[in-house]
Amino acid sequence: MKVIGYQPRHFDQVDALWQACFPDDPPRNRAAAAIPAKLALGDGLLLVAEDAAGRVLGTIMAGYDGHRGWLYAVASDPGHRGKGIGRALVEEACRRLAELGCVKVNLQVRAGNQSVAEFYRKLGFGEEARISMGRALS
């Protein structure tokens, strides 16, 4: 398994993976909307984990605004969990963010998703006293 930058040949596999991992996501988070928007930034922070045959095993999207980094769309193939795919993706994204000067990385976990929260705790992330708020613009 290797972590590499997203390439157009990955689209169909990423789309299927996100649908499997994030079935309740709104349309704005679907691959058809999110990937072109991310690629337009040209920051190289959309990564995939793929096996030797080129099959996508996981994804991560990272962002950096000069103040903080963020992790999004961290997904691993349900049939390959527990094999270090998620860890490799998070570590590579954090490494790339650090290269950009990022000193703090944030992420959000849906309330009640304890297994995912525990995954991030094992990677050194901790809960912070914050209220997550959002506003859809379209």
- CA-CA-CA-CA torsion for 40, 77, 50, 117, nearest 10 degrees? 70
Under DSSP, the state recorded for 56 is: E
Rounded to the nearest integer, the mean pLDDT of the chain is 94
Domains in the chain: boundaries: 2-122
Location of structure tokens 């961290």: 74
String of b and e for 95-125 (b: at least 16 CB within 10 Å)?
Answer: ebbeeeebeebebebeeeeeeeeebbeeeeb
pTM given for the model = 0.92
Per-residue pLDDT tens for 35-47?
999 999 999 999 9
- 28, amino acid identity: R
The DSSP secondary structure of 85-102, one letter per residue, reads HHHHHHHHHHHHHHHTT-
Q: Which two tokens stand for residue 104?
A: 């703090």
Per-residue pLDDT tens for 45-76?
999 999 999 999 999 999 999 999 999 999 99
d(CA 18, CA 58) in angstroms, rounded, equals: 9
- CATH hierarchy code of domain 2-122: 3.40.630.30
